[in-house]
Structure 1
Amino acid sequence: MPSRHDPARIAELQRIAILDSSPERAYDDITRLLASTLAVPITMVNLLDEARDWFKSCVGVQQTQSPRVTSFCEAFFHTESDLIVVDDTLADARFSGHPLVVGRPFVRFYAAARLKVRGQTVGTLCAYDMEPRQITSEQVEQMRIMAGAVIEQLNQRAAPA
């Protein structure tokens, strides 16, 4: 399994040189499109460094980062799956005790696609809702396509290896 502290993963994240960068329309367009496609209030392009989740782009939240302790995307360090869809966070043991599920904003739906660059997990494209929900196979496929577009953007900005 990948680790949040894996030196190769951190090196790849640094090579991309994206953390704490200014907003960019390409990423903002994707998060807006994902919010519309899934009809959810919160979407993010989320980059995962050792201590925090940093939001390159987000819809529905004002902050630009969150501490690792509140990360839903931490789940990607415990699975090989490239996509996680949780219809009801209260019914899923991985999330039922999460501070943002049992407390404000009471997240009940979570979906995320892994963002991998050169084999390293650098972040996620994710969506949240405060109501349980299901998404269709078509929406899952659209989310995969959008994640691919984010990965392409990340690859374009990365310094040569």
Structure 2
Amino acid sequence: MRTTKDRIRHTLGFEIVGLIIFVPLASWLFGFDIHAIGLIAVAGSIIATGWNYFYNLLFDHSMVKLRGNVHKTVPIRLLHAFLFEGGLLLLFLPMIAWYLGISLWQAFMMDITMATFYVVYAFFYNLSYDKVFPIPENHLATQFNH
């Protein structure tokens, strides 16, 4: 399992890289001022940062209980990404509608677009992160034997 320091690096990297990619793309796609989209994205990032940390911690603990390890196959990565984004959708929808002065339906469509982006992004970010920062095998064995 990952250390707290590693989880913080993972979370901050995920949010920073995501914002750099998402804000200009969303401003162009949705036709809102980059500052409005930027504020929504930063607020969402703050919410997502807390959610990301706790969600990944719970997900890994669940994997250890169910599978005995935290190795994530492609299907598990897909499940991981969809469950994460589904939780954010429920948290984020009312804020988007209120701040942008749009209907819940418009906010839902915007949120689905954002969630789709982040599902794809999360899959590739996490896959890349595991390659760049692999979990040492001996760390896995010693952490769960205590």
Structures share fold, TM-score greater than 0.5: no
Normalising by the residue count of structure 2, what TM-score does the alignment of the two structures yield? 0.36
Larger radius of gyration: 2
Normalising by the residue count of structure 1, what TM-score does the alignment of the two structures yield? 0.33
Q: Could you say which structure has the higher helix fraction?
A: 2
